[in-house]
Amino acid sequence: MDYQFNTWSPGFVPDMDEKRSIIDFLYVQLGIYGDKKEYIEKAIDYALGLNSAIGGFVLVATHAEELVAVSVINKTGMQNYIPENILVYLAVHDCMRGKGLGKEMVQRIVDQTEGDIALHVEKDNPARLLYEKLGFQTPYLEMRLRK
């Protein structure tokens, strides 16, 4: 299939309508594995270097001018002791899943980042298998204290 890929990064801030469509897309397509819209917006703002954030990028894929995949990558600023990048979100439109688009998105993310990449994926999320096939490993058990 023929996809168009665009990268938003610090210095390029999409207009509010584009940003809202990305937030809505991620919210819907991530489903039970997603976050509240305001959290998604914060991750996008961080990737775009807004509000004194380090930055990262947002990778957008379209087909026939329709959104089909979106990813948000944030730089951590912590190279040498944790990965330099975190893949915060990756969503492929449900009608496009299983066609290689997720794999292509991850490959483009790897190509566009410098340094290691971390991500969090719930153990029952089917996307976990894609990440494992592409070389992501589980070296640690993450533990959180929620306050």
* pLDDT per residue as tens digits for the range 65-120: 999 999 999 999 988 888 999 999 999 999 999 899 999 999 999 999 999 888 87
Structural domain harbouring 23: 4-133
37 domain-assigned: yes
139 has a pLDDT exceeding 80: no
Helix (H) or strand (E) holding 23: helix 16-30
99 domain-assigned: yes
Given this model, what pLDDT does residue 120 score? 79
Cα separation, 96 vs 9, in Å, equals 25
> What does the pLDDT average to over 33-61?
94
144 domain-assigned: no
90 neighbors 71 (Cβ within 8 angstroms): yes
147 domain-assigned: no
110 domain-assigned: yes
145 domain-assigned: no
134 has a pLDDT exceeding 70: yes
144 has a pLDDT exceeding 70: no
Q: pTM of the predicted model, to two decimals?
A: 0.86
104 domain-assigned: yes
